[in-house]
Amino acid sequence: MADLAALAEALIKGDRNTVTELTQAAIAEGVAPKDILEQGLIAGMNVVGRCFKNNEIYVPEVLIAARAMKSGMAILQPKLTEAGVEPIGTVVLGTVKGDLHDIGKNLVGMMLGGGGLAVVDCGTDVSPEKFVQACKESGAQVCAMSALLTTTMPQMSSVIEAIQASGIEVKTIIGGAPVTQSFADEIGATGYAPDAASAVDVCKELMGVA
């Protein structure tokens, strides 16, 4: 029988080849794609997220684990689609206008994907209009914004205002090195996350799927 615990363990270690092999083996044995996803890949990324939050591992280890997750998902995604397995929610993600930093944003995107969420990554230097358009087109429940410069933080407020003006029902979450909970409260953001692992928890809470 497919060892999904071993799959999770391989992902935690960032062993891409083993993740690929065990994912293929589980599919070949007829294990339900949803079980492979939840008990193997997501279970592994949950541990990675927890360790990252507790400062037991750092960004390089998370990136390696996320790369292993991506290898497994490349094989599993077509099977999930065939089986009609839907992501638990959709998040629009981007770095705000005027800011070209993307490492933190990319890390958040990987962690969200590892948490079973669909991610629409708008990239960097994203205007309020582009955030709104992406939310409308994807039907996202959450819009996640990143900023690494104090000079671009006001753009987060502009995005929230644009979302409110558009009339769409989307929760907002912000993060980035200079961003704080008090700033989130000040501009009316629905949520704030101090790190990538917390962002997954907050997004799930905002969607009511925590």
* Domain of residue 127, CATH code: 3.40.50.280
- State how far the Cα of 67 lies from the Cα of 59, in Å rounded to an integer: 12
- Residues 95 and 194 placed together within one structural domain of the fold: yes
CA distances (Å), 103 to each of 62, 71, 124, 146, 196, in order? 12, 20, 10, 10, 11
- Residues 175 and 113 placed together within one structural domain of the fold: yes
Summarize the confidence of residues 129-150 as an average pLDDT. Answer: 98
Neighbours of 5 (CB within 10 A): 12
Summarize the confidence of residues 187-200 as an average pLDDT. Answer: 95
- State how far the Cα of 104 lies from the Cα of 85, in Å rounded to an integer: 28
- Residues 201 and 146 placed together within one structural domain of the fold: yes
Number of domain units in the chain: 2
Helix (H, G, I), strand (E, B) or coil at 175: strand
Q: Indicate the DSSP class of residue 42.
A: I
Instruction: Mean pLDDT check: name the lowest of 80-89, 126-135, 138-147, 183-192.
Output: 80-89
- Residues 76 and 101 placed together within one structural domain of the fold: no
Residue with tokens 């960004």: 59
- Residues 184 and 147 placed together within one structural domain of the fold: yes
Pairing of strands 142-146, 118-121: unpaired
- Residues 122 and 34 placed together within one structural domain of the fold: no
pLDDT tens for residues 101-133? 998 999 999 899 989 999 999 999 999 999 999
pLDDT of residue 1: 62
- State how far the Cα of 79 lies from the Cα of 98, in Å rounded to an integer: 39
pLDDT of residue 210: 66
Q: Are 159 and 140 in contact (CB under 8 A)?
A: no
| Residue span of the structural domain in which 70 resides | 4-82
Chain-wide mean pLDDT for the chain?
95
Residue with tokens 């590892």: 114
Domain of 39, CATH number, reads: 1.10.1240.10
Q: In a 10 Å sphere around its CB, with 0-12 CB exposed, 13-18 middle and 19+ buried, how is residue 74 labelled?
A: exposed
Summarize the confidence of residues 145-160 as an average pLDDT. Answer: 97
pLDDT tens for residues 55-93? 999 989 999 999 999 999 999 999 999 999 889 999 999
Is residue 2 very low, low, confident or very high in pLDDT (cuts 50, 70, 90)?
Answer: confident
